Structure 1
């Protein structure tokens, strides 16, 4: 791979692109929302005469406002100056990375889009973690929780579905029936990504998932690449009658309904003895507005246990037990919140690469993970998925992604033109999707 050349990264210098729109509009919008919510927190603390905390929050606001000014005026990206354990890797990356515009400093409008987005979220985190009283504050938690409540009807329906499905198949484990249910749950996990707050600017869209089960047949026609059967070829060979040690990993994306759907798919895999353990790789800091952290999942399970719906509460209690006894496990690693793409993991995080290599299968969820898998570059759409991975394949992997960025690979000739004829915004509005699988390179 090193002897070949990769295309240039996507960037904000390409006017008219989604990257340009994101840097110019969505990123400032998200940052403004963080500043506004933090200002409201300061006001509440002042009203309570908690002036010490209020002053601490005002210092955070000042740092966030400074970041917004740097972004709007295209100032060079500053090195990080907090005490977190990823600072060295971040600063080395910033110092080694070149501007995409010759003769210009590395800045928001001259750097690679992936780098600039990740950098903004890392700087937001720095503003909080550098404070004395709000080091662990998540400025996106209210939005993530509101998003979950807006999809509660779908949560109830899918809870009933997964419990009944697992019970029925457990009594009558017909292979063809298991395959069909697996592919259905795979689609739930795929399309749940439509609720992505980093794309909507942090605005919760109500009732996006109500009646989704009935829509799956229609939605299936919008899947550009569907390797579901290949994924099942891998999992269908597992001997479910024996006590094996197989584990499957999920590199998670969004909190709320999406991670709920991921947990449902994981529950199916465990209840049918396709896997003994499921590892969930979460973000260790607030990330891309809606990305799932350990706290988000713990909150989700707690909410489910308190539900008045029997199926939801039953599932919540079951998942609490799974996390306690270890068949569900959450994993954290700083690599997931760096700007590096995954082809660099083996060099920069060999211990994480080695951990993933032990999995029977690794699911990579969502748009950002897809961008990091293929380097967020200007690949021709017909580029084979294997080539775009650029050497990254620690274990068989499956990317479940609805398209929300100007990058996609693995399409057949002419397939992009057909998609554009149906929808001019097909690459960025989440209407199209891919289920792409790679066994090895």
Structure 2
């Protein structure tokens, strides 16, 4: 009888261990894959880019840091404790780079990032920016789309003259590109998400005049500068005159002036399964787990570990890919001989800043607050209003978030993941920044997969 009791206890112990292991795996699935290495900094990373084999990050405390060993070690190049939040960082070439952020701050480097010097900025936070050189640039603030041709001494609003009413149909600035001292452009959207219709506003004379351009039959997900050209990547509807009204195929367009656009002849087969989105100069996500380098004459492909935590803020070298989430995460890349033949996991959706001309809200002001408006989930369908309970730190970053009223745990997780990336203007009391708790709501639509 005792042997049976001992055996029963052993069996119960094994069952408990199995349950614990199963629970650990389930919880682990909600975390970033162990194939990703997280990096701890004394500041919070807010954005990332790469130039050559260097990775650059920017963030709180007015910090700029660089890694020359694929993200293993980082060297701070500029920092000011309790300084501005740097929201964006980029390089126009190997020597000239810039970082922009709250308070209209613009930092620039002309020595490849060794030193960063403040330059004339705007009076408002800079949400998006693109500079061709130290003199010529284009920025988006909460209220305006501005350009400069004298290094920021003067800022002028982009105006398309007689097309001013037309531009009001596209109030969301999706992406800005200052190509050179003469050519600058912005891709505008009807709505905040990448799948909305778009138009380009561009200048060919250093901002003396601006023109509006619609390219028919395309939906463009990314607009950027690569190899001294404008590039736009998305989908194009072809054979519209045939029964069924045509179908969408991947498209990559390039232009030297913003007015005349050409179709890339590169092989875009890697974009057919999930489409190529969230592009930067190193390539595009063709799925959650694959980078397609569509800007090369002969595209190449790299695989990385798929993760639910993936965001639109990413950069890569030849060997590593990193993204900014609740932390900075990096993983090794594996070269692929050809594009994958089966669809992978979906990639995150790029969301533009709030619309131009929107009223300025009272209280804490969210300056980066994008969230998907459409979610795909096989367990729910319909329109939902989600209550968000947020904790916002003194520096304006979100320290805690709870989404209440989400229809499924997965939708709740994704909304919380996205709102963790929100950034607010630091809220002041008696002239000093303080921590605040906020309640707000977002409206989303959930649809079931086909």
Q: TM-score, normalising length from structure 2?
A: 0.21
Instruction: Tell me which structure has the larger Cα radius of gyration.
Output: 2
Bigger strand fraction: 2
Bigger helix fraction: 1
Higher RCO, 1 or 2 (CA under 8 Å, sep at least 6)? 1
